[in-house]
Amino acid sequence: MNKTDLRRQFLAKRDILSRQQILDLSARVAANLFSSFDLSEIRCIHSFLTIKDRGEVETSIIIDRIWRSYPHITIVVPRINRKEKRMECAVYDPMSRLIPNFWGIFEPLNTRVVSEQAVDAVIVPLICFDETGHRVGYGGGYYDKFLSICRPDCLKIGVSFFDPIEKIGDIEDHDIRLDYCVTSETVWDFRERAQ
């Protein structure tokens, strides 16, 4: 199945989840993430901020726990640089003021930006993923561009409510594979899987 059809199908699956189901599943995703990854050596994590009306995994659960339990970790979130058509790594902390961008996605205002090379792990949004670690996003290409300039050892960790499909039919050369995908049930490891 191609990305357009998968996007439509999985957005519809998310639409039928209640807010409470989303929170419960997100808590299980977060629990699996923290039980599966040693964050003691991580210094900088890039995470998306949840867009609630899209039924995404609630990353505030992950971010709040990092702030409480791993104070040595700097959290950065996407901020779109429209002029250069790319994502920046904007520092996000409990005092950050968020404002909606031109798409209605919240971004920190007046905060420091760090280099992509400083990022040790990225929590990647997705609509669905396949058994080889490829993902379907929202179609803008911002994450593939961003991930392509992160360090080779930067962990690319997707989060999803759903298990993978077998294969996305229209993968392109510029599509960046995940290293892992954390679901409410398990953690998928794609580092050794063939493309």
Please give the average per-residue pLDDT across 123-136, as a whole number. Answer: 96
Distance between CA atoms of residues 142 and 137, nearest Å: 9
Considering the domain boundaries, does residue 31 fall inside one?
A: yes
What is the domain count for the chain? 1
The β-bridge partners of 182 are 159, 187
Where residue 130 sits, what CATH number does that domain have?
A: 3.40.50.10420
Whether residue 194 is predicted with pLDDT greater than 70 in this model: the reply is no
In a domain, 194, yes or no: no
Alpha-carbon distance of 150 to 89, in angstroms, equals: 11
What is the domain range of residue 137? Answer: 3-189
What integer pLDDT is reported at residue 195 of this predicted model? 44
Q: How does the average pLDDT of the chain come out, rounded?
A: 93
What is the pTM (predicted TM-score) of this model?
A: 0.93
Domain for residue 195, yes or no?
A: no
